[in-house]
Structure 1
Amino acid sequence: MRAPLRSPPGAGGRHQVFFALAEWVPFAIALLVLVIELTPAHVVYTGPLLVATPALAAVTMGPKGTLAAAGVAVGVSATTATYNHAWGGQQVYTNLLALSLVTVASFTTSRAARTRRENELNQIRRIATAAQDVLLRPVPARLGPLRAASMYLAAESGAQIGGDLYDAVQTRYGVRMIVGDVRGKGLPAVRSAAVVLGAFREAVHYEDDLVEVMNHCGEALRRDAVMAGRGGVGGEVDRLEGFVTAVVAQIPDSHDVEVINRGHPPPLLLRDGTVRSLMPTAPLPPLGLEEFISGPPERPDTYPFAPGDRLLLHTDGVIEARDREKTFFDLPEAMATMCDHTRQAFLEGLRQALLRHTQGILADDVAIILVDRLEDETTPGRR
């Protein structure tokens, strides 16, 4: 399940203000000409100013705005010619002819540019959809003794992929899952997410130790940072960018779940209507900040995961979503409220609850994996 949302307020605010002001420039010029021509200052030659209005409108307002600016310019020209008794003079007709030619040229150019931009945007969207199918593919509905579902919500307007990542794979060691969040935005974040996911998808099939799976992801991120020029002395990742919070979980045939958490929000376990946060026994830094790891070697934390239990892995875009009063979204409460929902119904209900809480505006991307353990091989439990 994927659903892009619009950008939060303030994103590109300065650019939006600039273009909003630029759209008024042609009409401001027409008003200036009208003031000049209706006052003693009409001795100033204003013809070139009116001729420029459709050309300026074509830059920021498109074909319809070009015609609107041209219509205003013609109206001003006719009004001033009447007021100054200038009809019959060569200057008035020359100005109108020039205005007509510039309008036709500006309209044609603006329409062609808009068509080209729409074609380019459609192509980019097709590429983004193909990239999403590879990078953020939905998890399989059935994974051994589990039933699973996933959801991704992009905060960026028109975006379908971002800095959040997730995957779930059935292996000979059990079902292995990852959910992560790249610090940063844009293409560098997408690249880091692709690197971590690629390393995870490779390591889960041959590394029997879950810790080594996580280490494989961290090493791949470090190598990519060095190749991208973000590495510092000794090849360490720049601490100000490029690190990834992640949680990796493994569900073997036994009724347990093993979790390694690298600076990520802990998974939530729902059992009999009660939600429990699977907090790590020892905090660990995100991927890319391995120099801060000290003490004994990492070991996965193990928690009971019995038939009928539900496990939720998520990014901080859920729990850090705020309403107008800056109140955080209560994910455990929402999870407990919808404890009897099927997975798809739960994800749809969660999506709607987030939209209501944030008035349709997410400040960060959201990635979720939802997993139910079946009662047994013959009793499917929640469907």
Structure 2
Amino acid sequence: MRSRIRPSPPSAAGGHSRVLFRLAQCVPFVIILLALGIELSPAHAVITGPLLAAMPALAALTMGPKGPLSAAAGAFTVTVLTATLHHSWGAQVYSNLISLLVVSAASVTMSSAVRTRSHNELKQVRRVAEAAQRVLLRPVPPRLGPVRMASKYLAAETGAQIGGDLYEAVDTRYGVRMIMGDVRGKGLPAVRLAAAVLGAFREAAHYDEDLTEVVHHCAAALERERTALCTVDPAAEDDPTEDFVTALVAQVSDAFVVEVVNRGHPPPLVLRQGKAKALLPASPLPPLGLEDFMADPPAEAESYSFTPGDRLLLHTDGVIEARSPDGDFFPLPTTAESVHPCTPSEFVEHLHQALIRHTHGYLADDAAMLLVERLDEGGRDRLHGPRAL
């Protein structure tokens, strides 16, 4: 869970970095133009050939293989043009051209090699990230017990596969149990905390009948992981409120109700007959990790009606706090109500596309969604009839 007030894309830091990078790419060509100006001025006696020969190597630092080739072409043109204009063809000019040819060939070769190596390393990193995602954020099955479901996860970081959001759904003897959470912070510490909470949920969900006990196990796992992180980074002990997780745990059993324990997480939406209603908790509860700073959570989960055909949409605040370029928040309830009847996977895909359109492709925070549809006692949904297991 990251800072919620952010500038419109691109961010200031990112915008400055891109401007500086563009300026660096222009430097070799600016120097070539300066050399041309010198050669056409009364100061043309100044020897610019060695300087021009270095331009392909300079272009290779910030550009791909086309950069050194373009710089070489510019330097070659200036050298030939000025040598012809001043009738200065001789050993010095030929030496400069040979140096330019050698430096250009070396720059293109090295640039291509670096580009290929970087591409291979990026592919390897992505394969590792995808493997980590399959372990940490597994796609939920399309059918569990009396419900159908679908999930969607979007990472805010460019090229990232996983982040601080977490979700899971498991079928237990007590019913289908789900968790949706959001870790404060980002980077590897956030991933570690998310993994700790998910691991505790996956284990406790099968053995604890009381849903609040499942949440307590998640909180205990978070505390252990926070302690482990503090041993690695003592600075993390300075403010114990810096690492916490908002979490919502829900259970759908054979009874037509959904039980919810909300620990500081955005309330889920129940979609019934085309209308969306938020399941607001009776009293706010502290996120996981902040139990020592607030009142003790109540001992019982809250129950809500959840009849056949109803849908439950769990989400992180990266969805509802996603901003348009004008600063408007994403209208999740009205967007969900506008989606035509469809399967859960199609529904979350519609929301995904609407979110991308609203933000113009820029997400300031990770976003996760989990949709659960209640079937009737015969395992049928009202739109498509019987569903195979």
Q: Secondary structure at the match of 2:182?
A: strand
Alignment of 1:58-207 (within 5 A): 58-87=60-89, 89-207=90-208
Shift of 1:295: 4.7
CA contact (8 A) 1:237 1:243 kept: no
Whichever residue aligns with residue 56 of structure 1, its letter is L
Answer whether contact 2:136 2:195 (CA < 8 A) is retained: yes
Counting only pairs closer than 5 Å after superposition, residues 307-346 of structure 1 correspond to structure 2 as 307-338=308-339, 340-346=341-347
| Greater Cα offset, 101-110 or 149-158 | 149-158
* TM-aligned CA deviation for residue 53 of structure 1: 0.3
Residue by residue over 1:221-255, the C-alpha shift from the partner in whole angstroms, topping out at 9 and shown as x without a partner, is 2221221227999x978446332111111122221
Residue 144 of structure 1: CA displacement? 0.8
Identity of aligned residues (%): 61
Closer/same/farther in 2, CA of residues 103 and 272 from structure 1, 3 Å limit? same
Is the CA contact (8 Å cut-off) linking 1:320 and 1:328 kept in structure 2? Answer: yes
Which residue of structure 2 lines up, in the alignment, with residue 4 of structure 1? none
Give the aligned partner of residue 3 of structure 1: none
Aligned-residue offset at 1:177: 0.4
Report what 1:289 is aligned to: 290
Structure 2 SS opposite 1:228: helix
How much does 1:93 deviate?
A: 0.9
Q: Give the one of 15, 34, 37 matched to 1:35.
A: 37
Cα offset, 1:357, TM superposition: 1.7
The letter for the 2-side match of 1:33 is A
Q: Residue 190 and residue 346 in structure 1: after superposition, are their counterparts in 2 closer, same or farther (change >3 A)?
A: same
User: Which residue matches 1:20?
Assistant: 22
Tell me how far apart the structure 2 counterparts of residues 319 and 194 of structure 1 sit (CA, whole Å).
Answer: 24
Is 2:285–2:297's contact at 8 Å kept on the other side of the alignment? no
Match of 1:210 in 2: 211
- After superposing the two structures, state which structure 1 stretch, 205-214 or 169-178, moved more: 205-214
Deviation string, structure 1 residues 77-114 (Cα, Å, up to 9, x no partner): 11221222211x21111111111111111111111111
One-letter amino acid of the counterpart of residue 104, structure 1: A
Contact kept, 8 Å, 1:8 with 1:155, in 2: the verdict is no
For the 8 Å contact 1:19–1:60, the answer to whether it is kept is yes
Specify the alignment match of 1:301 in structure 2: 302
Letter in 2 for 1:36: I
Displacement of 1:57 in angstroms is 0.8
What TM-score, normalized by structure 1, do the two folds share? 0.92
Higher mean Cα deviation, 206-215 or 97-106? Answer: 206-215
CA contact (8 A) 2:200 2:221 kept: yes
Change beyond 3 A, Cα 1:247–1:237: farther
Q: 2:49 aligns with which of 47, 50, 56?
A: 47
Q: Does the 8 Å CA contact 1:230/1:238 hold for their aligned counterparts?
A: no
Cα distance in 2 for residues equivalent to 1:330 and 1:45: 65
**Helix, strand or coil for the counterpart of 1:109?**
helix
> Which letter maps to 1:221?
L
C-alpha deviation, 1:272, in angstroms: 2.1
Query: Secondary structure of the equivalent of 2:120?
Result: helix
TM-score by length of structure 2 reads 0.90
Q: Partner of 2:250 in structure 1?
A: 249
- Output the aligned Cα RMSD: 2.2
Aligned partner letter, 2:290? L
Unaligned runs of 5+ in 2: 1-7, 385-389
Alpha-carbon distance in structure 2 between the residues aligned to 1:378 and 1:324 = 43
Q: Give, in angstroms, the shift of residue 323 of structure 1.
A: 1.9
CA apart distance, 1:187: 2.4
Question: What amino acid maps onto 1:43 in structure 2?
Answer: A
Give, as a single letter, the amino acid of the residue that structure 2 aligns with 1:97: I
Structure 1 pair 79–296 and aligned structure 2 pair: CA distance change class (3 A): closer
Unpaired runs of 5+ residues, structure 1, are 1-6
What CA deviation, in whole Å up to 9, does each residue of 1:318-344 have, x standing for no partner? 111222322212111122222622212
Aligned partner of residue 328 in structure 1, secondary structure: coil
After superposition, give the CA deviation of every residue in 1:284-318 in whole Å (9 maximum; x if it has no partner).
22222221231564431111112221111001121
Write the distance in 1 (CA, Å) between the matches of 2:45 and 2:289: 70
SS in 2 for 1:302: strand
Instruction: Report the AA paired with residue 255 of structure 1.
Output: F
Displacement after TM superposition at 1:156 (Å): 2.1
Q: 1:382 offset after TM fit, Å?
A: 4.1
Q: Within 1, Cα distance between the matches of 2:359 and 2:14?
A: 20
Which shows bigger deviation, 155-164 or 309-318? 155-164
| Contact kept in structure 2, 1:232 and 1:238, CA below 8 Å | no
Could you give the per-residue CA deviations for residues 90-143 of structure 1, whole angstroms, max 9, x where no partner exists? 111111111111111111111111111111111111111111111111111111
Deviation string 1:247-283 (CA, Å, 9 cap, x unpaired) is 1111222211111111110011112222211111111
- Does residue 56 of the first structure (1) align with residue 58 of the second (2)? yes
After TM superposition, give the deviation of residue 361 of structure 1 in Å: 2.1
